[in-house]
Amino acid sequence: MIIVLKKGCKKKTVEAVIKKVKELGFKAHAIVGVERTVIGAVGDDRDKHLLSALEAVPCVEKLVPILQPYKLASKEIRREPTVVKVDGACFGGGHFGVIAGPCSVETEKQIVETAIRVKKAGARMLRGGAFKPRTSPYAFQGLEEEGLKLLAAARKESGLPFVTEVINPEDVELVGDYADALQIGARNVQNFALLRRAGKFGKPIVLKRGMSTTIQEFLMSAEYVLSEGCKNVILCERGIRTFENATRNTLDISAVPVIHERSHLPIIIDPSHATGVRNYVPPLCFAAMACGADGIMVEVHPDPQKALCDGPQSLRIEDFAALVVQLRKLSKFNGKKM
């Protein structure tokens, strides 16, 4: 339920309404808009009739039911786009954020060199996996905490904030203490325990769409995170499974306008995992920019042939630099800040 407050409500009044919502057994999420504050009351649907008691509160203008099953993620509760800021990197509301880095952290030299060079080329955030979700248990699983330390060293040297994946709910605090943003990968998009724990932690989250989740399911996963109090969620379309096998997955570019219609959250494109092929990455980044995406996340490696993971889809640093030059040109036509 959306509790719409009258214009110009004082902070104290807003707090009193929040208290009342909580007493009724719901979680209250205040959303401060340009004109007025609204409070999203979310909880067990079976008890929603209890909220009608709020209609009698003087500062409450009206109660509006949220029709979508995802509530806090929905446009119904917040019409303006959410801008997620991770240090200097901004996503949404006209900002096109660029995340670049290797699939996985391998050595100090590899991650520090990549960070410095992608920053120089125009990246705003570094990526790199320390905990890798691999299809084979015999494949490189990541450097784990050592990888997190190397990412922190790369941040120190380059000044770039970093996002890295967390796979287990028990590791959220460990990964979260090092990282600027937590990534929840495609394979974990419906790991509800992980979503809840990461949402509680509070740092921004890059949530990747699962290879077989519908947009509605994807937004429901975002809802898990938001319902725990995290406000900064970046959605990431990274390709879905189809019959097509010329690419690793099929990039669902239409997810961008669909999500923009339904949600205030930013949506970025990961063309590296979507295609699995380096040469297809730049054209799909241009498509992302053209269709209004809020950013990209691309895999970049100083020597892709030697990469321990996802080399064939990783751009060389020079390729990435050329890509950013082109994207900057396009951004002028699209009114995006890069």
* Contacting positions for Mn ion (CB under 5 A): 103, 310
Closest CA to 266 of 300, 286, 292: 292
Q: Among 18, 126, 186, 327, which residue interacts with ligand PEP (rule: CB under 6 A)?
A: 186
Amino acid, single-letter form, for residue 85: K
In whole angstroms, give the CA distance from residue 291 to residue 20.
42
Q: CB of residue 274 vs ligand PEP: minimum separation in angstroms?
A: 8
Work out what residue 36 binds among Mn ion, ligand PEP, none; the CB cut-off runs from 5 to 8 Å by kind.
Answer: none
Pick the closer one to ligand PEP by CB: 72 or 308. 308
Q: What does the alpha-carbon distance between residue 140 and residue 151 come to, in Å, rounded to a whole number?
A: 17
163-298-328 Cα angle (round to 5): 110
273 forms part of the interface with ligand PEP (CB under 6 A): yes
Contact partner at residue 238 from ligand PEP, Mn ion, none, CB < 5 to 8 Å by partner kind:
ligand PEP
Q: How far is the CB of 19 from Mn ion (least distance, A)?
A: 46
Identify the bridge partners of residue 252 per DSSP, sorted by sequence position.
Answer: none
Among 1, 84, 103, 105, binds ligand PEP (CB under 6 A): 103
Provide the minimum distance between the beta carbon of 218 and ligand PEP in the complex, in angstroms, as a whole number: 12
Among 69, 88, 133, 229, binds ligand PEP (CB under 6 A): 133
CB of 104 to ligand PEP, least distance (A): 7
Torsion sign, CA atoms 326, 327, 328, 334:
positive
Q: How far is the CB of 161 from ligand PEP (least distance, A)?
A: 16
Complex with ligand PEP: residue 39 or 235, whichever CB lies closer: 235
Residue of minimal Cβ distance to ligand PEP: 185
Check if the beta carbon of residue 172 is closer than 8 Å to that of residue 140: no
DSSP string of 308-329, one letter each residue:
SS-GGGPBPHHHHHHHHHHHHH
* Helix (H) or strand (E) run with residue 61 in it: strand 60-64
Q: Decide which of ligand PEP, Mn ion, none touches 328; Cβ closer than 5 to 8 Å per partner kind.
A: none
Q: What does 67-118 look like in DSSP terms, one character per residue?
A: -SS--TTBTTT--SPPPEEETTEEEBTTB-EEEEE-SB---HHHHHHHHHHH
Whole-angstrom distance, CA of residue 322 vs CA of residue 319: 5
Q: Which of residues 234-253 bind ligand PEP (CB under 6 A)?
A: 238
Q: 133 contacts which partner out of Mn ion, ligand PEP, none, CB within 5 to 8 A by kind?
A: ligand PEP
Interface ranges with ligand PEP (CB under 6 A): 103, 129, 133, 185-187, 208, 238, 273
